[in-house]
Structure 1
Amino acid sequence: MTNRTKLWIAEAMKRLMNKKSIEKIRVTEICNEAQIGRPVFYYHFKDKYDLVAWIFYDSAIDTNIISSESAAHHMNKMRNDFLFYKRAFEDSSQNALWKYIVEYYTNRYTQEAKRILNTNTLDPQIQFSIKLYCYGCVGMTKEWLLHDNITPAKTIVEMMFTSMPQVLRDIYFK
């Protein structure tokens, strides 16, 4: 039931973001669009930025980060929600989605490296490379999404994997 309510609220937010930017949307509008009370909204999300981050998280959670097919599928889902992601990427507030995405993927790649290497800690160079790679990928995803209507997602993902620092490719793609 909780996830269904979150999805209901998320769909309301997406409809609103099809009409205007995130900074112009108020929680009251989200509640009205979703036909819920403010307490219901705040039970599930701390603010509208938390909701936007959850929408991304919900779409990304099943992505296999070291599979080009899975990553391309996720990028295509982002393109299908073009206006939502366009407006989310345009937001430059302290709670901007791109910052959340970098943190999310940095954590995913870190956990995957720890799992593969069977360790609880990573060398500082590996941690730096993961963060550098994630910043670059998020930037290139934003550029692809907003400005490239030609290149297939699979091609972009393959170029990202090819551009991955060697230290990471040695871990993820032995």
Structure 2
Amino acid sequence: MDRRIQKSRQAIMNAFMRLMSEKDFESMTVNQIAEEANVNRGTVYLHFTDKYDLLDQCMEVQINQLLRNCMPEEGLVHLTSKTALQRTFEYLEQHASFYSIMLTSKGSAVFRNQMETLFRQSLSEHLDSINLDRKLNKDITVQFLSSAGVGVLEWWITHSMPYPASVMVEQFWNLLDRIQLQMFE
């Protein structure tokens, strides 16, 4: 993609996020986004169908970056789940402004659902690769763990990260260890 196109697109996305921190999404207009990005309204429409498309693409970009930066890549030495969890919390800490805006704005339900879907898919794949206790229903286990994980992340972010990422990882990991021990008794 041409650098000028990338630059305009990024300016629009950045302007949109700044406005999201100040305004309600529903009251925001494409004109306001264009003005904040210092581009013409037509430029916004060149990149995005409307403000809903812009919101969707911002969420998609961030979630993809989260995955790329936090999850093991093929060819790398296998990372433990705790290492991936540590990388996730550190990434969220570094990008707190975006996640805080997305989890406290009117669009938060959509974003939260996307995060939870991502967690469910990842957990489902993980549970397929291990021997889950036969007394446990996979669907219920996935729903429980993904809801807990996203809930903890959401609480941490919306409460201005009262604990460092390392403390959150240790606490979360200890809880998962206790649950796992009870799951396999």
Shorter-chain TM-score above 0.5: yes
Correspondence 1:24-103 to 2 at 5 A: 24-32=27-35, 33=37, 35=39, 36-42=43-49, 47-62=53-68, 63-64=70-71, 67-93=81-107, 95-103=109-117
| 1:105 is aligned to 2:119 | yes
- Specify whether residues 17 and 37 from structure 1 end up closer, same or farther in structure 2 by C-alpha distance, changes over 3 A only: closer
Q: Secondary structure at the match of 1:42?
A: coil
Q: Report the TM-score when normalising by structure 1.
A: 0.70
Question: Runs of 5+ in structure 2 lacking a partner?
Answer: 73-79
- Specify whether residues 104 and 27 from structure 1 end up closer, same or farther in structure 2 by C-alpha distance, changes over 3 A only: farther
Contact 1:52 1:97 survives alignment (8 Å): no
| 1:153 is aligned to 2:156 | no
Contact 1:31 1:41 survives alignment (8 Å): no
* 1:11-59 deviation per Cα after TM superposition (whole angstroms, max 9, x unaligned): 333333343344443345445527333142139x962441242133123
Equivalences, count? 164
Larger Rg: 2
| Percent pairwise identity | 17
- Per chain length, whose mean CA-contact separation is higher, i.e. which structure has more relative contact order (CA < 8 Å, sep 6+)? 1
Question: Runs of 5+ in structure 1 lacking a partner?
Answer: none
Shift of 1:141: 1.1
2: CA distance between counterparts of 1:57 and 1:34?
26
Cα RMSD (Å) of the superposition? 3.7
2: CA distance between counterparts of 1:73 and 1:133?
18
Q: Report the TM-score when normalising by structure 2.
A: 0.66
Shift of 1:105: 1.0
Contact 2:93 2:165 survives alignment (8 Å): no
Q: Which amino acid aligns with 1:91?
A: S
Q: 2:23 aligns with which of 20, 25, 28?
A: 20
Shift of 1:150: 4.0
Q: Secondary structure at the match of 1:151?
A: coil
Q: Secondary structure at the match of 2:146?
A: helix
Q: Which amino acid aligns with 2:59?
A: A
Q: Which amino acid aligns with 1:144?
A: W
Match of 1:166 in 2: 180
